[in-house]
Amino acid sequence: MTTALKTLGLAAALGLLAAPALARDTIHIVGSSTVYPFSTAVAENFGAKTGFPVPVVESTGSGGGMKLFCQGVSLDTPDITNASRRMKASEWNTCHQNGVTQIVEVKIGFDGIAIANAKSAPVFKLSLKQVYLALAAQVPVADDNCVLKDNPYKTWSQIDPALPDEAIEVYGPPPTSGTRDAFVEIAMEKGADEIACLHALKKARPGSADYERLTKVLPSALVRDGEGKPLAGKKIFARIAQRLREDGAWIDAGENDNAIVQTLEKTPSAIGVFGFSYLEQNGDAIKGAVIEGKAPDFDNIADGSYPISRDLFFYVKKQHVGLVPGIPEYVAEFTSEDAWGDYGYLADKGLIPLPEAQRETIGAAARALKVMTQSP
């Protein structure tokens, strides 16, 4: 072989080694089961309007989506992840440790978490305190005594005689779900805060008389961190408030909210926990419980009076722009008035739109692919 040919062969080999992985031609989206129907609708409209391939959208749960999204910048990782709660600081740190340093955050609207049952079943009117007492793994022995006991309630009527005399059987999302995260942070914590001793614990600081009085009756594992240091009262409170029952009263039903709806139709005594959009889409078969006097409907979620509501998001890996075609155009479609506006096609699917001023500001930043500059 001539020297020239050897040189040419070496150069070609080095070129192959240095070349980036072949670009995908289809956007890959993962994440929240709640945002999934909205993202799917945008993907279909985006494909029809632009001529780009319809993005692949997978329902992995918010936590599962963040894990995949933050694995790195290689093209075998997703371009976008949907979330039914904001990215956590720990997820931000994982992303940055793995080289995912250019993240675009887009808040898309609001959603309520519905507590629902079959149309044929009794009507539920619940306070958040009752929700906590029904679903917490452990509850205080009394409002003014933080000694904890394993949840003793088997039926709703044991909590309050005005509630249906039905077994507590609640189907809800798994730990990887943003809906689960939001439910325990909003519904369970707010309910626990209605119990006097837990409210006092939440505000107590290590070293104070209240802290010593309230924590001396609690297991050491609840009160101290892994190094044996005392936790702040609000952290102990969260540990108590957010732990769901594991005795069969709460059943993890996977990331498929439609499966929960189907279970409710077959099991009239059961209750389900899922996003408002699934309640609205299945209003012929199920009905929402009234929480603190407010029904889970569009107007109550939009004005914030329904107590279990949350923001919805998607996150874009800007480092994939230019490698995967159509990412800016997908963002533009999602943030168009045709999609997320007051009368857009996403409202028809149950998305509660942002106020117009927020849509203008957030939409402009999203279309400019403005990168987050600090941890959430």
Q: What is the mean pLDDT of residues 151-155?
A: 98
| Per-residue pLDDT, 204 | 94
**Cα separation, 46 vs 51, whole angstroms:** 8
Query: Over 70: is that where the pLDDT of 14 sits?
Result: no
Q: What is the per-residue pLDDT for 293?
A: 96
Instruction: Provide the b/e sequence for 107-119 (b: ≥16 CB within 10 Å).
Output: bbbbbbbbbbbbe
Please say if the pLDDT value at position 113 is more than 90. yes
Instruction: Please report, as a single letter, which amino acid is at residue 206.
Output: P
pTM score above 0.95? no
Contact between 275 and 39 under an 8 Å Cβ cutoff? The reply is no
pLDDT of residue 22: 52
334 vs 39: CA distance, rounded Å: 8
- Tell me the percentage of the chain whose pLDDT exceeds 90: 80
Residue bearing the bigger pLDDT, 261 or 44: 44
**Residue 250: pLDDT over 60:** yes
Q: Could you tell me the residue ranges of all domains in the chain?
A: 23-110+311-367, 112-309
Does 5 score more than 50 pLDDT?
A: no
* Alpha-carbon distance values, 316 to 5, 70, 72, 112, 305 (Å): 45, 11, 13, 24, 31
Query: What was the pLDDT predicted at 3?
Result: 43
Quote the pLDDT of residue 30: 98
Domains 23-110+311-367 and 112-309 share a fold: yes
At residue 16, the pLDDT reads 40
The answer on pLDDT for 310 being more than 50 is: yes
Q: How far is Cα 231 from Cα 229, in angstroms, rounded to an integer?
A: 6
Average per-residue pLDDT for the chain: 91
CATH of domain 23-110+311-367: 3.40.190.10
What is residue 304's predicted lDDT score, i.e. its pLDDT?
Answer: 87
Least confident range from 123-127, 178-182, 326-330: namely 178-182
* pLDDT higher than threshold 90 for residue 1: no
Q: What pLDDT sits at residue 259?
A: 85
Q: How is residue 334 written in tokens?
A: 């999602």
> Is there a contact between 103 and 264 (Cβ–Cβ < 8 Å)?
no
Mean pLDDT on 141-164: 96
* Residue 169: per-residue pLDDT: 97
Superfamily of domain 112-309: Periplasmic binding protein-like II (3.40.190.10)
Q: How much is the pLDDT for 17?
A: 41
- List, in sequence order, every residue forming a beta bridge with 315; answer none if it has no partner: 81, 105
